[in-house]
């Protein structure tokens, strides 16, 4: 029974990381690769689209069908983690179709998980510190101007800030 179960268990497809692909781009050139990562950019180009997928600090452009790109709901930015996608396709280290760009032409494009919003709450300490420093700056400006004015009434210094 265990043997039957083992036979039916499909091992997960190992994916190459963005860093691996870029640093070994000649080795992977023309090969079918799997890339999983976060979507950080979608650029629609008619029937096709560029989807920039970020994995392990390295982003790679994926050339896919516009229909696939339209499945991406959230693009990663300051307030969002983008959709997690899996791309299976042909890797090119210098794509002849796209002016020598390093890219993947997707054969399979799957959104694994939707993106999530990122809460960016103001740091209370920073808010307090900024309030204190701004008040101090305003006080310093006016206090020193007053000092200068008082001194100039005794000694004729020009009250020039330039």
Partner 1 sequence: MIPAVTREDLKVIGYNLSKICYVTGAVLFLPIIVAVIYSEFDTIPYFLIGSAIAFILGCLVSHFLYTKKEMELKHAVCMAALAWLLAPILASVPILLSNATASGLDACFESVSGFTGTGLTLTLDIDHLSHSINFLRHFLQFFGDGIGIIVVSLSILGKTEMSSVLAFKGEAKDMGIRPSIVRTSRMIIKIAVAFLIIGTILFTAAGITAGLDPGTAVFDGLNHSMTGYATGGFSTRSQNLLYYHSVWVEVVAIVVMVLGAINFNLHYVVLGGRRREILKNIEVRVLLFMLLTFGLLVSANLLFTNFYTSGEALFRKGVFHVISAQTTTGFQTVPPSQFMLMWPVFSMMLLSAAMVIGGSANSTSGGIKMLRVGVLLKSFWGDVKRVLLPRTAVVRGSFHHIEDTPLTDTVIKGAAVITISYLILFSVGTAITAAHGYGLEDSMFETSSALGNVGLSCGITSPSMPAVLKVTYMFLMWAGKLEIMAVFVLFGFVILGLRKGIKK
Q: Applying CB under 8 A, which residues contact partner 1?
A: 22-23, 25-26, 40-45, 49-50, 52, 54, 57-59, 61, 63, 76-79, 93-94, 96, 98-103, 120-123, 126-127, 129-130, 133-134, 136-137, 140-141, 144, 147-148, 157-158, 161-162
- CB of residue 36 to partner 1, shortest distance in Å: 16
Closer residue to partner 1 in complex, CB, 14/162: 162
Write down the least CB distance from residue 13 to partner 1, Å: 24
Q: Are 40 and 76 in contact (CB under 8 A)?
A: yes
Q: Which is nearer to partner 1, 9 or 154 (CB)?
A: 154
Closest distance between partner 1 and the C-beta of residue 32, in Å? 20
Beta bridge partners of 51: 42, 62
Closest listed residue to residue 69, CA positions, set 103, 45, 33, 37: 45
Nearest-approach distance from CB 71 to partner 1, in angstroms: 16
Q: Give me the least distance between CB of 111 and partner 1, in Å please.
A: 18
Residue 86 or 103: the one with the smaller Cβ distance to partner 1 is 103
Nearer to partner 1 (CB atom), residue 67 or residue 123: 123
Q: Which residues contact 78 (CB under 8 A, 6 or more apart)?
A: 118, 120
Kind and range of the H or E element at 49?
Answer: strand 48-55
Distance of CA 37 to the CA centre of its chain: 11
For residues 64 and 90, give the distance between their C-alpha atoms in angstroms, rounded to a whole number: 11
Q: In this structure, how many other beta carbons lie within 10 angstroms of the beta carbon of residue 86?
A: 18
Q: Are 61 and 49 in contact (CB under 8 A)?
A: no
- Cβ-based nearer residue to partner 1, 13 or 119: 119
């Amino acid at each position: 029974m265990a043997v039957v179960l083992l036979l039916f268990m499909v091992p997960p497809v190992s994916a190459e990381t963005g860093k691996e692909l870029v640093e070994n781009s000649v080795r992977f050139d023309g090969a079918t690769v799997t890339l999983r990562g976060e979507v950080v950019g979608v650029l629609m180009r008619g029937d096709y689209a560029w989807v920039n997928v970020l994995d392990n600090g390295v982003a790679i452009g994926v050339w896919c069908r516009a229909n696939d790109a339209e499945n991406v709901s959230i693009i990663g930015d300051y307030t969002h983690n983008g959709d997690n996608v899996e791309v299976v396709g042909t890797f090119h280290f210098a794509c002849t179709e796209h002016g020598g760009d390093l890219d993947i032409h997707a054969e399979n494009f799957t959104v694994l998980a939707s993106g999530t919003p990122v809460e960016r709450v103001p740091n209370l300490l920073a808010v307090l510190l900024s309030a204190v420093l701004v008040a101090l700056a305003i006080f310093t400006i006016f206090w020193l101007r007053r000092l200068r004015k008082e001194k100039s009434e005794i000694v004729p210094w020009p009250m020039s800030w330039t």
